[in-house]
Amino acid sequence: MAPLSMPSALTYELLGKCSVTKARAATLHLAHGPVPLPIFMPVATQASLKGLTPEQLEEAGCRLCLNNTYHLGLKPGQATLDAVGGAHKFQSWPHNILTVSFQMVSLLKLAKVTEEGVRFLSPHDGSPMLLTPEHSISLQNSIGSDIIMQLDDVIATTSPNLARMKEAMERSVRWLDRCIKAHKHPERQNLFCIIQGGLDLDLRRECTKEMVARDTPGIAIGGLSGGEAKDAYCKVVDTCTGLLPEKKPRYVMGVGYPEDLIVSIALGADMFDCVWPTRTARFGNAITARGVLNLRNAAYSEDFSPVEEGCQCVCCRSQEEGGLGITRGYIYHVTAKETAGAHLLTIHNVHYQLNLMKLAREAIVEDRYPAFVKEFFAKLYDGKSMYPEWAVNALKGVGVDLLSD
């Protein structure tokens, strides 16, 4: 069968490439405004980012956030989304939205995948439901997200069943064709394919080849970040990006730890999402350049310095600098006791992630990404002996020796 091709509703404007690593800086022009790449996308699963108003999310610098198709399909449901005029209007978010598909569903014991689609039990009444590639796209058309994802057959990368892995990969390609066919608004919504194939590099190569041939506006690498070894993760990302066209955005799904972002950028990835930064905020964990601080630890109860010294988020800036002047001690005082405590740390963590991407982008544009990476790891760890081996190896593979001076 001849692969289907499709129009694109985005422009990928390459601004600079690292002369050593595979890192790229770009501006992605989407229907709801330009977004800088590389980018971290906060996850507003149910059309809300954990207590923050759209205005607060905007102020933290976010211009592209995630919604979950599956959740919005259940609540508020397709009929409401159609009546309201899509998810942007529904949540009063003037910027871009990317909708992830039903990733986790197929991983749960509750779901079963057939050629037709994913069968699972309705969380509302326990009745069986069937989700097909066509339905997934139809929902995302109703949501009106700027970037939509194909329905894919995901199984845990750690699965030892190679035959099932191959089946899932091939099925994902077939489903992509059905998604392309079902997509009603290719002129304003960008469909991304999702490369599958587990940790098997040959399967990944084959999948990449098939999917690149379909010429979707952007490409995602899926099925990762599910507990596999980091070395294997890096190999998959490195292999896939090596086969991808330069002029398209590359999205690695479910990645969010700062060191993962920095390494993945060096391996040629542009877009990332993860609930970790916002979830961990609700547990009182602050992301900083020197690591994650658990502000529920009593040691911070009498620490009246900002969450992160020098941070430019509205929480950390002093009142004199136009910020709120929130201290670690105060976060300790409110975390898990008042929801506002979670809101404050969520603002900080989202800002941290977005700012890290901004700094990485500047470094790439100025062609000093290797030095930036070294600086990043030097700050994060107490000495080179503490550097994770996977990161050292992965970066060595793209020409950066973390252990040298």
Partner 1 sequence: MTDITAAPNLKNLPPETLDFTLLKTTTALAPRLGRLSLPGRKTLLTPGFLGNTSRGVVPHISHDNFAKNTNINGVYIPLEDFVEKLPQKTPPVFQIDTVDPLRRFIALPRDTLLVIGARRQPAIPCPAANTNSEVGILTSVGFRSISSDYYAAAARKLQPDIVIGLADIPFGQAAIGVRRKDKMSDRTESWMRDIIAKRNTIDKDERRFHIFAPILPIEGQLQSWYLDHLVDNMVDKISGVAIYDSHLLDELPEELQQLPRMSFDNPASPQALLRQISLGMDIFTVPFVSDATDAGIALDFTFPAPKKANLKNGSLRQSLGIDMWLTEHSGSMTPLTGACTCYTCIKHHRAYIQHLLSAKEMLGWVLIQLHNHAIMDTFFAGVRNSIANDTFEQDVTAFEAFYEPKLPEKTGEGPRVRGYQFQAPEHGKPTKKNPKAYKPLGAPLNAFHGQQPNKKPEIRDNIDDDALIGLIGLENVDPEEQFENLKLEDDK
Residue 306 interacting with partner 1 (CB under 8 A): no
Q: Find the catalytic residue in 153, 238, 260, 273.
A: 273
C-alpha dihedral (312, 68, 163, 241), degrees to nearest 10: -40
- String marking each residue 114-153 x if it binds partner 1 according to CB under 8 A: xxx--x-x-xx-x-x-------------------------
Min. distance of Cβ 144 from partner 1 in angstroms?
A: 15
Strand partners, 129: 120
| Position among 13, 246, 338, 401 found at the interface with partner 1 (CB under 8 A) | 338
Asked whether residue 222 is marked as a ligand-binding residue, the answer is: no
Quick one: which segment of 30-38, 72-80, 182-190, 366-374 binds partner 1 (CB under 8 A)? 72-80
Min. distance of Cβ 130 from partner 1 in angstroms?
A: 9
| Position among 80, 161, 305, 312 found at the interface with partner 1 (CB under 8 A) | 80
Asked whether residue 65 is marked as a ligand-binding residue, the answer is: no
Closer of 26 and 314 to partner 1 (Cβ): 314
DSSP string, 172-215: HHHHHHHHHHH-S-TTTSEEEEEE--TT-HHHHHHHHHHHHHHT
| Position among 109, 160, 310, 389 found at the interface with partner 1 (CB under 8 A) | 109
Q: How far is CA 280 from CA 194, 293, 295, 335, in A?
A: 27, 10, 11, 11
Closer of 223 and 370 to partner 1 (Cβ): 223
Nearest to 257 by CA among 356, 400, 402, 386: 356
Min. distance of Cβ 9 from partner 1 in angstroms?
A: 26
Residue 309 interacting with partner 1 (CB under 8 A): no
Asked whether residue 185 is marked as a ligand-binding residue, the answer is: no
d(CA 140, CA 158): 29
Residue 299 interacting with partner 1 (CB under 8 A): no
Closer of 100 and 180 to partner 1 (Cβ): 100
Residue 279 interacting with partner 1 (CB under 8 A): yes
Q: Which of residues 28-67 bind partner 1 (CB under 8 A)?
A: 43, 45-56, 59
Under 8 Å between Cβ of 4 and 214: yes
Sequence-separated contacts (24+) of 289-294 with Cβ below 8 Å: 289/376, 289/379, 289/380, 290/379, 290/380, 291/380, 293/328
Min. distance of Cβ 162 from partner 1 in angstroms?
A: 19
Min. distance of Cβ 221 from partner 1 in angstroms?
A: 12
Query: Is the sign of the CA dihedral 52, 53, 58, 62 positive or negative?
Result: positive
Report the Cα–Cα distance between both ends of the chain, in Å, rounded. Answer: 53
Residue 27 interacting with partner 1 (CB under 8 A): no
| Helix H or strand E encompassing 261 | helix 258-266
Q: Which of residues 343-362 bind partner 1 (CB under 8 A)?
A: 343-344, 347
- The residue count for binding partner 1 (CB under 8 A) is 79
Strand partners, 262: none
Residue 232 interacting with partner 1 (CB under 8 A): no
Length of the chain: 405
Kindly report whether the peptide bond that precedes residue 388 is cis, defined as omega within 30 degrees of 0: no
Q: Which of residues 189-228 bind partner 1 (CB under 8 A)?
A: 225-227
Residue 253 interacting with partner 1 (CB under 8 A): yes
| Position among 40, 90, 233, 251 found at the interface with partner 1 (CB under 8 A) | 90
Active site residue 270: no
Asked whether residue 256 is marked as a ligand-binding residue, the answer is: no
| Helix H or strand E encompassing 281 | helix 276-282
Asked whether residue 179 is marked as a ligand-binding residue, the answer is: no
- Which DSSP state fits 149? E
Residue 108 interacting with partner 1 (CB under 8 A): yes
d(CA 68, CA 140): 9
Amino acid at 71: H
Positions marked active-site: 273
Residues at the annotated binding site for substrate?
Answer: 152, 196, 223
Residues at the annotated binding site for Zn(2+)?
Answer: 311, 313, 316, 348
